[in-house]
Protein backbone atom coordinates (compact mmCIF):
# COMPACT_ATOMS: atom_id res chain seq x y z
CA UNK A 1 0.00 0.00 0.00
CA UNK A 2 0.94 3.66 -0.15
CA UNK A 3 3.64 4.63 2.34
CA UNK A 4 2.82 8.22 3.27
CA UNK A 5 0.37 9.47 5.85
CA UNK A 6 -2.37 11.77 4.57
CA UNK A 7 -1.48 15.44 4.82
CA UNK A 8 -3.61 17.75 6.90
CA UNK A 9 -3.05 20.98 4.97
CA UNK A 10 -2.19 22.24 1.54
CA UNK A 11 1.19 23.60 0.62
CA UNK A 12 1.58 26.82 -1.32
CA UNK A 13 1.35 25.09 -4.68
CA UNK A 14 -1.80 23.19 -3.71
CA UNK A 15 -2.94 19.74 -4.67
CA UNK A 16 -4.35 18.36 -7.91
CA UNK A 17 -7.30 16.11 -8.57
CA UNK A 18 -7.03 14.00 -11.72
CA UNK A 19 -9.85 12.09 -13.39
CA UNK A 20 -9.33 9.87 -16.42
CA UNK A 21 -11.67 7.65 -18.39
CA UNK A 22 -11.22 4.78 -20.76
CA UNK A 23 -11.92 5.16 -24.46
CA UNK A 24 -15.69 4.98 -25.10
CA UNK A 25 -16.14 4.38 -21.35
CA UNK A 26 -15.47 0.69 -21.87
CA UNK A 27 -14.97 -1.37 -18.71
CA UNK A 28 -11.50 -2.53 -19.76
CA UNK A 29 -10.05 -3.03 -16.28
CA UNK A 30 -12.72 -5.50 -15.21
CA UNK A 31 -10.72 -8.00 -13.18
CA UNK A 32 -8.97 -7.88 -9.83
CA UNK A 33 -5.65 -8.47 -11.59
CA UNK A 34 -6.12 -5.53 -13.96
CA UNK A 35 -7.35 -3.15 -11.26
CA UNK A 36 -4.34 -4.09 -9.13
CA UNK A 37 -2.05 -3.49 -12.09
CA UNK A 38 -3.40 0.06 -12.52
CA UNK A 39 -3.16 0.75 -8.79
CA UNK A 40 0.39 -0.58 -8.51
CA UNK A 41 1.39 1.44 -11.59
CA UNK A 42 -0.15 4.58 -10.11
CA UNK A 43 1.76 4.11 -6.83
CA UNK A 44 5.06 3.42 -8.58
CA UNK A 45 4.84 6.20 -11.16
CA UNK A 46 3.59 8.79 -8.64
CA UNK A 47 6.60 7.98 -6.44
CA UNK A 48 8.99 8.23 -9.39
CA UNK A 49 7.59 11.66 -10.30
CA UNK A 50 7.59 12.69 -6.62
CA UNK A 51 3.83 13.11 -6.21
CA UNK A 52 2.28 12.23 -2.85
CA UNK A 53 -1.05 10.48 -3.32
CA UNK A 54 -3.70 11.64 -0.88
CA UNK A 55 -6.71 9.74 -2.28
CA UNK A 56 -7.36 7.38 -5.19
CA UNK A 57 -10.16 5.27 -6.62
CA UNK A 58 -9.68 2.97 -9.59
CA UNK A 59 -12.68 1.47 -11.36
CA UNK A 60 -13.07 -0.65 -14.49
CA UNK A 61 -13.50 2.37 -16.79
CA UNK A 62 -12.08 5.38 -14.93
CA UNK A 63 -10.03 6.57 -12.01
CA UNK A 64 -9.62 9.58 -9.76
CA UNK A 65 -6.73 10.65 -7.60
CA UNK A 66 -5.74 13.60 -5.46
CA UNK A 67 -2.02 14.25 -5.10
CA UNK A 68 0.47 16.85 -3.96
CA UNK A 69 3.71 17.52 -5.83
CA UNK A 70 7.05 17.49 -4.04
CA UNK A 71 8.06 20.73 -5.70
CA UNK A 72 6.74 22.22 -8.92
CA UNK A 73 3.63 20.55 -10.38
CA UNK A 74 4.93 20.71 -13.96
CA UNK A 75 5.48 16.94 -14.09
CA UNK A 76 1.78 16.08 -13.76
CA UNK A 77 1.10 15.78 -17.50
CA UNK A 78 4.17 13.57 -18.02
CA UNK A 79 3.22 11.43 -15.04
CA UNK A 80 -0.31 10.85 -16.36
CA UNK A 81 0.96 10.17 -19.90
CA UNK A 82 3.37 7.57 -18.55
CA UNK A 83 0.68 5.98 -16.37
CA UNK A 84 -1.63 5.74 -19.37
CA UNK A 85 1.06 4.42 -21.70
CA UNK A 86 2.26 1.74 -19.30
CA UNK A 87 -1.18 0.56 -18.20
CA UNK A 88 -2.49 0.51 -21.79
CA UNK A 89 0.52 -1.46 -23.00
CA UNK A 90 0.21 -3.97 -20.14
CA UNK A 91 -3.56 -4.34 -20.58
CA UNK A 92 -3.23 -4.88 -24.32
CA UNK A 93 -0.41 -7.38 -23.78
CA UNK A 94 -2.46 -9.37 -21.25
CA UNK A 95 -5.56 -9.38 -23.45
CA UNK A 96 -3.73 -9.89 -26.77
CA UNK A 97 -5.12 -6.65 -28.21
CA UNK A 98 -1.99 -4.79 -29.33
CA UNK A 99 -2.43 -1.19 -30.31
CA UNK A 100 -5.98 -0.86 -28.98
CA UNK A 101 -6.80 2.61 -27.66
CA UNK A 102 -7.34 2.35 -23.90
CA UNK A 103 -7.48 5.81 -22.35
CA UNK A 104 -9.55 8.66 -23.74
CA UNK A 105 -8.40 11.75 -21.89
CA UNK A 106 -7.91 13.15 -18.42
CA UNK A 107 -8.98 16.23 -16.51
CA UNK A 108 -7.05 17.89 -13.73
CA UNK A 109 -8.15 20.45 -11.20
CA UNK A 110 -5.73 22.57 -9.20
CA UNK A 111 -6.90 22.69 -5.59
CA UNK A 112 -5.67 25.71 -3.68
CA UNK A 113 -8.50 26.14 -1.15
CA UNK A 114 -8.78 23.85 1.84
CA UNK A 115 -12.54 23.31 1.48
CA UNK A 116 -12.13 22.27 -2.15
CA UNK A 117 -9.33 19.88 -1.16
CA UNK A 118 -11.36 18.31 1.68
CA UNK A 119 -14.45 17.89 -0.49
CA UNK A 120 -12.47 16.15 -3.21
CA UNK A 121 -10.71 13.86 -0.75
CA UNK A 122 -14.11 12.72 0.49
CA UNK A 123 -15.43 12.42 -3.06
CA UNK A 124 -12.54 10.23 -4.23
CA UNK A 125 -12.56 8.03 -1.11
CA UNK A 126 -16.28 7.37 -1.63
CA UNK A 127 -16.35 7.05 -5.41
CA UNK A 128 -16.81 3.25 -5.40
CA UNK A 129 -19.96 3.74 -3.29
CA UNK A 130 -21.15 6.48 -5.67
CA UNK A 131 -20.90 3.97 -8.53
CA UNK A 132 -22.65 1.20 -6.59
CA UNK A 133 -19.63 -1.10 -6.41
CA UNK A 134 -19.68 -1.52 -2.63
CA UNK A 135 -21.92 -0.41 0.24
CA UNK A 136 -18.93 1.00 2.17
CA UNK A 137 -15.87 2.53 0.51
CA UNK A 138 -13.50 0.80 2.93
CA UNK A 139 -14.57 -2.52 1.38
CA UNK A 140 -13.24 -1.56 -2.06
CA UNK A 141 -9.66 -2.70 -2.44
CA UNK A 142 -8.69 -0.26 -5.21
CA UNK A 143 -9.41 2.95 -3.39
CA UNK A 144 -7.86 4.84 -0.53
CA UNK A 145 -10.80 4.81 1.91
CA UNK A 146 -9.51 1.97 4.12
CA UNK A 147 -5.95 3.31 3.98
CA UNK A 148 -7.22 6.77 4.95
CA UNK A 149 -9.25 5.37 7.84
CA UNK A 150 -6.16 3.54 9.18
CA UNK A 151 -3.60 6.33 8.66
CA UNK A 152 -5.33 9.67 9.19
CA UNK A 153 -5.55 11.29 12.59
CA UNK A 154 -9.07 10.65 13.92
CA UNK A 155 -10.02 14.34 13.89
CA UNK A 156 -8.86 14.79 10.28
CA UNK A 157 -10.61 11.58 9.25
CA UNK A 158 -13.89 12.85 10.75
CA UNK A 159 -13.46 16.26 9.09
CA UNK A 160 -12.94 14.75 5.63
CA UNK A 161 -15.60 12.05 6.06
CA UNK A 162 -18.23 14.61 7.03
CA UNK A 163 -17.31 17.10 4.34
CA UNK A 164 -20.06 17.73 1.79
CA UNK A 165 -19.09 16.76 -1.76
CA UNK A 166 -22.49 16.44 -3.44
CA UNK A 167 -22.17 19.76 -5.28
CA UNK A 168 -18.77 19.10 -6.85
CA UNK A 169 -18.47 19.37 -10.61
CA UNK A 170 -16.36 16.30 -11.39
CA UNK A 171 -16.45 14.48 -14.75
CA UNK A 172 -17.83 11.18 -13.49
CA UNK A 173 -20.59 9.94 -15.76
CA UNK A 174 -18.95 6.57 -16.24
Residue 56: helix, strand or coil by DSSP?
A: strand
Contact 2, 147 (CB under 8 A): yes
- pLDDT by position in tens, the chain (length 174): 445 544 444 445 789 999 999 999 999 999 999 999 999 999 999 999 999 999 999 999 999 999 999 988 889 999 999 999 999 999 999 999 999 999 998 999 999 889 899 999 999 999 999 999 999 999 999 999 999 999 999 999 999 998 887 776 776 776
CA distances in angstroms from 24 to 27, 89, 102, listed in the order given: 9, 18, 9
pTM of the model: 0.89
Assign a CATH topology to domain 15-161.
Answer: Alpha-Beta Plaits (3.30.70)
Amino acid sequence: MWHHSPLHQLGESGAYMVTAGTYQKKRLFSSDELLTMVQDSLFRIAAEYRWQLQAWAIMANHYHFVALPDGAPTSLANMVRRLHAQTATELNRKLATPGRKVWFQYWDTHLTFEKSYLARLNYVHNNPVHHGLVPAATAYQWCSAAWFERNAKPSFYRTVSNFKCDRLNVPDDF
